[in-house]
């Protein structure tokens, strides 16, 4: 068997006209130490995502947030325990990344930000081709959303300093799938130029 490798993060230059920033599940339950499914490396990504978010806002790049959002008896709780319960503090997006007026928050039922949501509608309505995907958990909701975007022929870009997972292995597994299977490009928040 040959060794799998993960490409280096590279500089990217994207046009505001056909690019969107997607921030996946940066909610208290995943990103706050008191959250129900806390990802310990996620708080370190908040300033990086925030700088990308500010860059997107300055350059007029559209911003979409996904928000995991479950009813009381959601079968997903059988896997993970209760989290992101509709209307709860845990389901709120972290204070530092609060959506601004006009930014779309897509409430999602499962790992995939496209499944049963209006994300596809908004992206095609605005002619978005490139997606900068950030957030958590890298190998779960970020990967499923990135994969679903790639299956729709969006070009995906993932800044490695803007995603987090429970283990280094999970993070690498996500990067491998994103680059190898979905032909995504790895970058870093400071290497993203929006024009
Ligand atoms: Zn969930």
Query: Distance from the CA of 79 to the center of ligand 1, in angstroms?
Result: 9
CA–CA gap between residue 99 and residue 47 (Å, rounded) = 15
Which whole number is the average pLDDT over 72-87? 97
Query: Distance from the CA of 61 to the center of ligand 1, in angstroms?
Result: 27
Query: Distance from the CA of 36 to the center of ligand 1, in angstroms?
Result: 11
Query: Distance from the CA of 85 to the center of ligand 1, in angstroms?
Result: 9
Whether residue 93 is predicted with pLDDT greater than 90 in this model: the reply is yes
Query: Distance from the CA of 8 to the center of ligand 1, in angstroms?
Result: 30
Domains of the chain and CATH, by start: 12-194 (3.40.50.850)
Band of pLDDT at residue 72, cut at 50, 70 and 90: very high
SS (H, E, C) 108-148: ECCCCCCCCCCHHHHHHHCCCCEEEEEEECHHHHHHHHHHH
Instruction: Specify the pLDDT at position 183.
Output: 97
CA–CA gap between residue 55 and residue 63 (Å, rounded) = 11
Which whole number is the average pLDDT over 163-172? 98
Query: Distance from the CA of 113 to the center of ligand 1, in angstroms?
Result: 11
**Claim: this prediction has a pTM higher than 0.95:** yes
Closest CA to 29 of 70, 89, 113, 87: 89
Ion ligand 1 — residues with CB < 5 Å: 68, 76
Instruction: Specify the pLDDT at position 154.
Output: 98
Q: Which residues of 69-108 are buried (b: 16+ CB within 10 A; e: fewer)?
A: bbeeebebeeeeebbbbeebebbebbeebeeeeebbebbb
CA-CA distances (angstroms) from residue 33 to 27, 29, 172? 11, 8, 23
Helix (H, G, I), strand (E, B) or coil at 180: helix
Band of pLDDT at residue 55, cut at 50, 70 and 90: very high
Which whole number is the average pLDDT over 108-128? 97
Query: Distance from the CA of 109 to the center of ligand 1, in angstroms?
Result: 7
């Amino acid at each position: 068997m040959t060794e799998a490798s993960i490409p280096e993060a590279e500089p990217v230059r994207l046009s505001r006209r056909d690019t969107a920033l997607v921030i996946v599940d940066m909610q208290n339950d995943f990103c706050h130490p008191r959250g129900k499914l806390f990802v310990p490396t996620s708080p370190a990504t908040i300033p990086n995502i925030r700088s990308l978010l500010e860059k997107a806002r300055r350059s007029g790049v559209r911003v979409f947030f996904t928000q995991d959002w479950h009813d009381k008896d959601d079968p997903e709780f059988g896997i993970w325990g209760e989290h992101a319960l509709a209307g709860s503090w845990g389901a709120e997006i972290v204070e530092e990344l609060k959506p601004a007026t006009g930014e779309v928050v897509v409430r999602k039922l499962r790992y995939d930000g496209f499944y049963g949501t209006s994300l596809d509608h908004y992206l095609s309505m605005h002619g978005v081709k490139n997606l900068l995907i950030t957030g958590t958990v890298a190998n779960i909701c970020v990967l499923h959303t990135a994969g679903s975007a790639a299956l729709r022929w969006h070009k995906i870009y993932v800044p490695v300093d803007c995603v987090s997972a429970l283990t280094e292995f999970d993070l690498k597994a996500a990067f491998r799938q994103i680059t190898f299977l979905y032909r995504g490009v790895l970058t870093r928040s400071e290497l993203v130029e929006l024009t």
